[in-house]
Every structure is written in structure tokens, then in C-alpha cells.
Amino acid sequence: MFTSNPFADLTVFLPPFAMQAFIVLMIIAVAIGTVLDMLHKSSAKFFALHVAKSNAAATRYLSGAETATLAVKTVAIEVAAAGEFCNPQRRISHLLMFYGFLFYLITTVAMIFGYPTHAMPTPVVLPVLWNIGVIMILIGGYWFFFLLRVNVVHDGQPVFRLVLADLFIVTLLGSVTFALIWEFVQTSGNLAATKITFGLYVFFTTLLFGSVRWSKFAHMFFKPVVAFQRRVDEARGVSSLPAPATRNNRS
């Protein structure tokens, strides 16, 4: 189960082209959703205004090497290590989902486009990493959903009281949960059950990538850019914080 390409078995009732077309459509949906989110929130406009003000207020200018160093630090700290999270539990949960999602996404694309049928043997490492990614998302995701959500932990709201902000985590968990269920059911050889569980997997996956305009999915693209600009501002002597008050010493 964990060492075979689950997508290759789908060719019994689904041609590889259909799976590949679905991946392309989801990529387009994410791109369109991200652009619509930026337009709705005027994110690009406000960011451009901020950069313009930052350039005007800069007390020094950075060399190409300094800018590259800040970019590397942003990737290493804010992205790779989730440095924005002060709560260690939130950070671990986020990292499990982040790296799990990368494993899951990359291996899914590799198996569907590179090894769509059993005619081309799939390297064992791909389905193994796919399953590891799914399990990492499930651990980090359900940990966050039940124990770390702000409206549950701090506001005391019921766990299953969902708001729009929960759209991303709910659809993500739905997608990977049914991915694992479908993979297990498929090994039983029950074609009807396989079609049902795979259909649910596709349904939640479509919601995940098709709801970017309303979910927090697009944040994964915005946050690194904002974090990088913050480092650039600090390095150039620009800060949105007020200057320290001057203390008057009277004799």
C-alpha cells in the first residue's frame, strides 16, 4: 500500500490524461484565486504604496549582496523554520503541515505526470514520500484543528463551530484524509468503494484549490514577501514604529 503508486491503479476507470488535466486546472484555479484575493483586498496596491514610502524614507541603500543575504535569511527563518510563530506548538504543527504538503504535492505531480501507468514502474521513494507527506499533514492539521485554533483555545468556541477562516484547514484535512482512505480502499479491489472514496478525495481537493479567493491558501505566497520587505526596511533604517521619546533631564 505505501510503496505502490496509487494513481497508476486509477487507469482501470480513469485515463491518465484526465488526472493530468485536473492538476493543470487546479494550478490555474490557485493562480486565479490568488489574483482575485489580491484585487479584493487591494494587497498589491497597499504593498506597492508601502514599498514606495519605504524607498523614500530609506536612510541607506542595500547592495545586491545584502539584498540576497536578506532573501536567504527570510527563506531560512520565516519560511523553512516558521520563525513567525512564537508558540512552539503552533510552529511544530505548521512545519508538519508545510513540509508534509510539499512532499504530498511534489510526489503527486511526479507520479501523475511521470509514472501515470504501471507500464512505467514508479520509484518506491515517490509513494513512500507521498504517504509520509499525507501523514504529516494529518498529524499537524488535526493537532491544529482540535487543540490550537484561536477561536477554540482563546475564545472558548466549540471545536466544530466553523468560520470562513477555517476553510483552508477543513478542505486540506478533507483532501488528505480521503486520499489515505481511498488508497486503502483501492487495495481491497472493491471498484465501487474505490470510485466513491476517490470521488470524495477529488471533491475536497477541488474545494481546497478552488476556494483560494476565500481561504487562507494565498497567505503562503504573501507572508514570505512581507517578511522579506520587513527585513529590507529594517536594514535600510525604515520602521513603522514611532521613534523613542526624548527624556528631559532636569537638574
Name the residue among 159, 141, 143, 52 with its Cα closest to residue 104: 141
Residue 149 lies in a domain: yes
Helices 88-114/125-143 angle, 10° precision: 150
Residue 12 lies in a domain: yes
Position 193 scores a pLDDT of: 97
159: cell is: 471545536
Position 217 scores a pLDDT of: 86
Position 239 scores a pLDDT of: 65
Count how many residues are written for the chain: 251
Tell me if 166 sits within 8 A of 183, measured CB to CB: no
Residue 180 lies in a domain: yes
Residue 248 lies in a domain: no
Position 247 scores a pLDDT of: 46
43: Cβ–Cβ under 8 A, 6 or more apart, which residues? 37, 222
Place of cell 479584493: 40
Position 59 scores a pLDDT of: 85
Report the first-to-last Cα separation within the chain, whole angstroms: 81
Position 240 scores a pLDDT of: 59
Q: What is the pLDDT along the chain (251 residues), one digit of tens a residue?
A: 789 999 999 999 999 999 999 999 999 999 999 999 888 877 778 888 888 888 888 888 899 999 999 999 999 999 999 888 889 999 999 999 999 999 999 999 999 999 999 999 999 999 999 999 999 999 999 999 999 988 787 777 888 889 888 999 999 999 999 999 999 999 999 999 999 999 999 999 999 999 999 998 887 888 888 899 999 999 998 865 444 444 454 43
Which residue segment(s) compose the domain that 66 sits in? 8-55+62-235
Listing DSSP states for 62-103 in one string gives: --HHHHHHHHHHIIIIIISS-TT--SHHHHHHHHHHHHHHHH
Q: CA-to-CA distance for 81 and 145, rounded, in angstroms?
A: 21
Name the residue among 150, 142, 148 with its Cα closest to residue 169: 142
Residue 196 lies in a domain: yes
Number of domains in the chain: 1
